[in-house]
Amino acid sequence: MTREVDPPLTLYIHLPFCIRKCPYCDFHSLPDRLGDESAYVARLIVELRHWRGFFAQDTRLLHAIFFGGGTPSLLQASSIGSILEAVRLTWPLEPGCEITLEANPESCQREKMAVWREAGINRVSLGIQALDDQRLRLLGRPHDRAGALEAARGLLESGFTHLNADLIYATPGQSLDSWRGELREAVGLGLGHLSCYALTLEEGTPFQARHAAGRMVLPDEALSLAFFGFTRHFLAEHGYEPYEISNFARAGQACRHNGNYWAYGDYLGIGSGAHGKWSDGAGVTWRWANPADLSVYLRESFATPERLSAREAGMECVMMGLRTRVGVERARYRGVTGVDLVEACGARVMGLVEAGLLEVDGERVRVTEVGVSRLDGIVERLVG
């Protein structure tokens, strides 16, 4: 089996440092480890060269680069510049390569913004999370509403034209009315992209423990659905296309790196806890994950790629693709499984089409607007 078209290749760089741990967060993020910054940056560069050697035959250029975390803005701006310089020397970039940096308001000073721009960062994703001080305190965030607004203003005035704000909704005690006010204000900031996530309770977090002990009440299912529907409707009305279940973009502002991930493209992940996914020309998908332990990352060898079965790769391709408005690309699915999704899952696909939850054409399989709030059930019925 050979693939019909090479998928794009992007680079994800994980920077796990944070000021403190937010009580809902289960990402690989570490307070109090900034003392390891320079050793970590040096290790990232070693890892980058390691993968360049490992995939020496691959001639693709980098389509996008994404600094995620953690809080990448917490690092010295010169560290971001050093990493990017090493990337350019190791792996050629496509012209106009999107280079995103995740930033939080409390570490987003204007002097840093200037250095980021100089280094080549051309997109910033700002972790605003809420525009209400009470909600920010509940979420355990170190910034306040004024700090969030100042950071957004500073980025715009520094000349960044591709900006995202992350927002969290469906938090304890939140009303739809107050969310409408925050969302209106977020739209008024004039950023081209918004990511809006419902609060989820992750295993092992303080929020999950509080909820289990009956000390935290989340909105019920009906209210959560109302938040979800309202957010999509309101943002669509204000010119933000819901191009992924939680992501909304004005024309030309969709995130390339994340888009490639959802389209089941290839990505090289470097850093502690980072994941990678690679497809070779013979249609085999490879995966790896570095241990989510900074000390181990600094001293031990990097992860070894493991081969995914066609079934595993096909499931991942469907799970990712159905999150997006454009849906699963049938050619990409054929490329990783050797069979066509509609032919392989014919009765299940048709059942979902008849129920008004899926749409199919010659190139793609996508979830309808009715199906979008029942995504988990659709994926389960299709490939579970």
Q: Which is nearer to ligand SF4, 147 or 283 (CB)?
A: 147
Pick from 12, 44, 66, 69: which binds ligand SF4 (CB under 6 A)?
69
| In the chain, beta strands by DSSP E | 9-15, 17-18, 30-31, 62-69, 93-103, 123-129, 163-169, 193-198, 241-244, 247-249, 266-270, 275-279, 285-289, 306-307, 328-329, 358-360, 364-367
Phi-psi region of 311 (alpha: psi -120 to 50; beta: other; left: phi over 0): alpha
Q: Which is nearer to ligand SF4, 68 or 305 (CB)?
A: 68
Residue type, 65: I
- Are 18 and 7 contacting, i.e. CB atoms less than 8 angstroms apart? no
Number of residues that bind ligand SF4 (CB under 6 A): 11
Residue 268 sits at φ, ψ, to 5 deg, of: -100, 125
In the chain, the N- to C-terminal Cα span, in Å, equals: 24
Q: Which is nearer to ligand SF4, 21 or 117 (CB)?
A: 21
Q: Which is nearer to ligand SF4, 22 or 365 (CB)?
A: 22
The single residue listed with the structure tokens 């069979």 is: 339
Q: Which is nearer to ligand SF4, 70 or 314 (CB)?
A: 70
Min separation Cβ 128 and ligand SF4, Å:
11
Annotate each residue in 87-116 with x if it binds ligand SF4 (CB under 6 A) or - if it does not, as one string. -----------------x------------
> CA 51 to CA 302: how far, in whole Å?
9
Annotate each residue in 244-283 with x if it binds ligand SF4 (CB under 6 A) or - if it does not, as one string. ----------------------------------------
Min separation Cβ 285 and ligand SF4, Å:
28
Annotate each residue in 18-47 with x if it binds ligand SF4 (CB under 6 A) or - if it does not, as one string. x--xx--x-x-x------------------
Stretch that binds ligand SF4, among 40-48, 64-72, 189-197, 274-282 (CB under 6 A): 64-72
Min separation Cβ 31 and ligand SF4, Å:
8
- Interactions with ligand SF4, residue window 109-168 (CB under 6 A): 127
Pick from 13, 66, 71, 302: which binds ligand SF4 (CB under 6 A)?
71
Q: Is 72 in the site for ligand SF4 (CB under 6 A)?
A: no
- Are 231 and 195 contacting, i.e. CB atoms less than 8 angstroms apart? no
Min separation Cβ 104 and ligand SF4, Å:
6
Min separation Cβ 91 and ligand SF4, Å:
26
287 SS3 class? strand
Count the neighbouring beta carbons within 10 Å of the beta carbon of residue 31.
11
> CA 293 to CA 291: how far, in whole Å?
5
Min separation Cβ 140 and ligand SF4, Å:
8
For the purposes of burial, counting CB atoms within 10 Å of the CB of 112, is it exposed (0-12), middle (13-18) or buried (19 or more)? buried
Min separation Cβ 365 and ligand SF4, Å:
33
Task: Report the DSSP pairing between strands 247-249 and 193-198.
Answer: antiparallel
> CA 111 to CA 382: how far, in whole Å?
50
Task: Label each residue of 131-192 as H, E or C.
Answer: CCHHHHHHCCCCCCHHHHHHHHHHHHHCCCCCEEEEEEECCCCCCHHHHHHHHHHHHHCCCC
Stretch that binds ligand SF4, among 44-52, 65-73, 177-185, 229-237 (CB under 6 A): 65-73
Residue 198 sits at φ, ψ, to 5 deg, of: -75, 140
Q: Which is nearer to ligand SF4, 143 or 334 (CB)?
A: 143
Min separation Cβ 68 and ligand SF4, Å:
9
Q: Which is nearer to ligand SF4, 27 or 54 (CB)?
A: 27
Question: Which residues of this protein are in contact with ligand SF4, per CB under 6 A?
Answer: 18, 21-22, 25, 27, 29, 69-71, 104, 127
